[in-house]
Chains A and B, each alone.
Chain A
Amino acid sequence: MSDTEKELRVSKIRDGTVIDHVTGGQALNVLAILGIDGNGGETVSIGMNVPSDKLGRKDVVKVEGRELSQSEVDVLSLIAPEATINIIRDFEVIDKNRVERTASVTGILVCPNHNCITNADEPVRTEFEVFDDGVRCSYCGTIVREGDVAEHIDARGSGETAL
């Protein structure tokens, strides 16, 4: 029995998403990407620094009643490149995917440059190009290194808001 199966058995969810093989210590940042702060009423379980054959230590995040948008998955790939995303319906894993790094992420990160036009009240979403070791604002060119990406997640979950 694999780690994943064991995890799923401990606290099965009916419908929702299990994000597994998250880089150890990144679970709270995963929640931040999903815009989950506990006030939305979702049932969430988190395993942090669970032993893993593949990663040594990994985090696992299970969210009841929620599937992920593509832009959320895109940002997830930056902080947890090994993550797998299991979509659960009626207690069954109906879809299992590795995250993939995309060329750009839109709408989820905030540019750390206060003077960037994306931080003014303009009708555009942020856009960052993805590099090997970080991301870069497509508007002002500011670079955010991979390890710092989590700090710049839009806490308001603007990835979900339309333009």
Chain B
Amino acid sequence: MLEDHLISAAHLSRADIETVLDRAESVDSAGEAGHGSHDGRVLALCFFEPSTRTKMSFESAMKRLGGETIDMGSVESSSVKKGESLADTVRVIEGYADAIVLRHPSEGSAKLASQFVDVPLVNAGDGAGQHPSQTLLDLYTIRENAGLDDITVGIMGDLKYGRTVHSLAHALTNFDVRQHFVSPESLRLPRNVRYDLHEAGAQVREHTDLDEVLPELDVLYVTRIQRERFPEEREYRAVAGEYRIDNETLSDARDDLTVMHPLPRVDEIAPAVDETARAKYFEQAHNGVPVRMALLDILLGDEGGDRR
């Protein structure tokens, strides 16, 4: 799977994941490993919806590998606005680049796009679907802090629309991980994700109350509950307030709890938590660069420039 495209975390095997994480670790620790190895190669950044950080993270990764990036700019200024299909857009851009990173608001768009191109394509988020490169950096962070086997992970917040959650839950089924999902009833995991977890034989439980599981957790992965999911501000406030953590909420947690968040956060995690050893979300964001370097390195192949 990894040799062609990265479309969905559901397609990643344990071996695939370990290959990327091991490579990322060597990039990270040696500092220089991988640097400059893709001199002159070009990565196209196709962001059909804005995501400055994911885009910058890929940009940074490619530049550190010695390559260049090109950017299709905002959708408003491109031919997409004129009604061009995604299939046509990526077929054109394929001619400009050695690999493509795609962020698109529709589910299944990365799979569709990958059918029309021969260069490697990385899904950087397709609607509420998948965000597998985020998952790889999440796994990297979990592995560094808690290990990836025999652990208990709590995932809290908007589990319905949160693509980072869907990708992570899929990927964790490759490991010996007990997964607890904490959300309001209206934002629980979608049926298809629950179905997959069940099929994979994952150890999964769902909760509406964090207190039920907090003391058992090695990792707590917090996501944002978005205002626009609720018809009324009042409803949003009531729900969001219950899924916010601070040091008091965490008083029952283990001392070595790893708190993660895909960022940006609004107020789901109180700033006071940042000062504690539990806070790993900035480290998590920084891990995006070595992990994406490793990923691009693998997808582009070892011999830099052989496609040109």
A residues in contact (CB < 8 Å) with B: 113, 115-118, 120-124, 136-143
Contacts and interface: CB of A to CB of B under 8 A. Distances in A.
A138 B115 CA distance: 13
Interface in B194-210: 195-196
Contact of A122 (B112, B126, B129, B191): B112
Contacts of B85: 120-123
Contacts of A113: 107
B107 A139 contact: yes
Contacts of B106: 115-117, 120, 140
B148 interface: no
A141 B109 CA distance: 12
Interface of B: 83, 85-87, 104-109, 111-112, 115, 126-129, 191-193, 195-196
Judged by DSSP, the binding face of B is mixed
B135 to A, nearest CB: 15
The list of the 10 closest CB pairs from A to B, nearest first, reads A139-B108, A140-B107, A140-B108, A117-B108, A117-B106, A117-B109, A141-B192, A143-B192, A117-B112, A122-B85
B39 to A, nearest CB: 35
B112 A142 contact: no
A66 B115 CA distance: 34
A138 B193 CA distance: 14
B107 A143 contact: no
A22 to B, nearest CB: 28
23 contacts: A113-B107, A115-B105, A115-B106, A115-B127, A116-B106, A116-B107, A117-B86, A117-B106, A117-B108, A117-B109, A117-B111, A117-B112, A117-B126, A121-B85, A122-B85, A139-B108, A139-B111, A140-B107, A140-B108, A140-B127, A141-B107, A141-B192, A142-B192
B107 A117 contact: yes
A122 B192 CA distance: 24
Contacts of B112: 117-118, 122, 124, 139
B86 A120 contact: yes
Contacts of A120: 85-86, 106
A3 B233 CA distance: 63
Q: Which of A113, A115, A117 has most chain B Cβ within 10 Å?
A: A117
B107 A122 contact: no
Nearest to B8: A141
A121 to B, nearest CB: 6
Nearest to B191: A143
Nearest to A142: B192
Contacts of B127: 115, 140
A122 B87 contact: yes
B86 A140 contact: no
Given A123-B85, A138-B111, A139-B107, A115 B192 contact: no
Contacts of B129: 140-141
